[in-house]
Amino acid sequence: MAWQEWKIKDFSEGLIDRVDDDLLPENATRDCQNVIARKIGLLQKRPGQTRLNSSALGGSIQGMHAYYTGTNRYLVAAAGGAVSYWNGSSFDSIKTGLNTTAQFCFETCVNYMVAFNGVDAPWKWDGATVSALANAPTDGQFALLHKEKLFTVPKSDPSTLYWSDSFQPESWPAVNYWDVRKGDGDVITCITSHLDELVVFKRRSLHVLRGTSLDDFRLDTADITLGCVGPFAAAAFGPYLYFVSDEGVCVWNGARAVNLSREKIPGFWSRVNQQYIRKAAVGVWDGLVWFALPIDGAAYNNAVLIYYPPEGEALGGKFWPWFGINASCFLKYDDGTQLAFLSGDASAGYVNRQYAGTDDFGSPINAYWIGKSFDVTEAERKCRFGWAVIQDSPGAADVDIQFSIDYGPFVSLVPAEYDSLVRRYNFFDVYTGRYLRPKIVHNALGGCEVRGVKVYFLPFPRGL
């Protein structure tokens, strides 16, 4: 009987942990980390990270902002109770003596930048001078410029929106407020602009403030089951608003909210530490939505769940979990020559640049992908497995091909002959069984691209 071959040519379905292994699509995985397949037939390791500042700030990053004024460009970061700006080689102090744990919300107004954190009195900075932001609620938690008005929510009145007069961030008439389902036992957790409307999240509900002024404002309650967990946990991508709720990662299209994670990755979601989920952050870069989450008991965001949406659509996307990225917040910053995607470090005082090289701060990125079990379509028949081939994999000399027989432990194969495009790995002499599960591993420095795997096997006669 001739050797037969089993091919894996597509990895693009991403993570699915809602179905049993026997029902998993051929191009899906029940477990992976630090890889992504955006093209059919190409599995890649995620890009790396570098540190912007070599000397750590005084604590984990509490918030960031890109402040552009005139010809000046300021990258602003809060950490350890201090706010600083990047001078090109290090961070210079703007203001110190602030709260060391609160999340900082910044906003750019006409003549200055403003800062709110719900604890310290709001203040402003014009690139040279720091001063109090007059008349604003002293415990305002958020800062959002919408319809030329500066909106916030006082910590002492957490179900009420307050706003300034148009173009006057230091004029706050007493009549400029709106209660949002006050008395429902919930509080406002996030406010953001979307589709020219003000979206107001509470922890367990979603509301939309429509209109341009107190004369025509109208508040509509859009969802009473899904809300947002924190001020950094929502971001717009085209016509869609992605956010983190207590129930999962979700999307709002202006008419309804949908839980994206429930149907595909409930197992992964069960690993999220709900005690600290309020620290979740959402960013958008390279056509991907980045959900930074605390996983497996962590008290800070120690993982990023990547969501790759279909072109022009919100639903039907693929999930890819990335580890080693500890992001408290995300920021796109234009330094005048290029646009960079930055993350504030959730565990140390660094601002980290994403999509920078193929390693994390000089260390290898540990990546793997585990495929569906192969059973020759006839589970009662055993097979002898002979060898496996990886096709067209730059850097594949460092790729480790492992297989699990009959759901046992994963075992590495023996490297054999290879050339620049095809590399062969041999099974042991007595590698036989009914089920074969593949695992592609790359834990070395450098990038990795795998374009296909073939396994050669010999079915035994029925009954053996």
Give how far Cα 36 sits from Cα of 226, 374, 377, Å: 28, 22, 28
Name the pLDDT band for 376 (thresholds 50, 70, 90): low
Q: Nearest 5°: phi and psi at 347?
A: -125, -5
For the chain, how many helices (H) and strands (E)? Answer: 1, 44
* Residue 185, token pair as written in the block: 């036992």
Structural contact between residues 257 and 250, judged by C-beta atoms closer than 8 angstroms: yes
- C-alpha–C-alpha distance, residues 63 and 77, integer Å: 6
Q: Nearest 5°: phi and psi at 279?
A: -85, 0
Higher pLDDT among residues 198 and 452, named by residue: 198
Q: Is the pTM of this model over 0.85?
A: yes
- C-alpha–C-alpha distance, residues 312 and 239, integer Å: 9
Domain ranges, ordered by start, for the chain: 4-46+367-459, 49-354
Pick the CATH number of 4-46+367-459 from 3.40.1350, 3.40.30, 2.60.120, 3.40.50: 2.60.120
- C-alpha–C-alpha distance, residues 201 and 245, integer Å: 10
Looking at residues 326-338, what average pLDDT do you find?
96
Distance in Å from the first CA to the final CA of the chain: 15
Which has the closest alpha carbon to 62: 39, 45, 80?
Answer: 80
pLDDT per residue over 167-197, tens digit each?
999 999 999 999 999 999 999 999 999 999 9
pLDDT per residue over 290-322, tens digit each?
999 999 999 999 999 999 999 888 899 999 999
Structural contact between residues 44 and 447, judged by C-beta atoms closer than 8 angstroms: yes
- C-alpha–C-alpha distance, residues 117 and 177, integer Å: 19
User: How many C-beta atoms surround the C-beta of residue 359 within 10 A?
Assistant: 17
What pLDDT, on the 0 to 100 scale, is given for residue 397?
Answer: 65
- C-alpha–C-alpha distance, residues 122 and 133, integer Å: 6
CATH superfamily of 49-354: YVTN repeat-like/Quinoprotein amine dehydrogenase (2.130.10.10)
- C-alpha–C-alpha distance, residues 92 and 53, integer Å: 11
| Same fold for the pair 4-46+367-459 and 49-354 | no
Q: Which residues contact 151 (CB under 8 A, 6 or more apart)?
A: 142, 143, 144, 145, 161, 162, 163, 191, 198
Looking at residues 154-163, what average pLDDT do you find?
98
SS3 350: coil
Q: How far is CA 153 from the centre of its chain?
A: 26
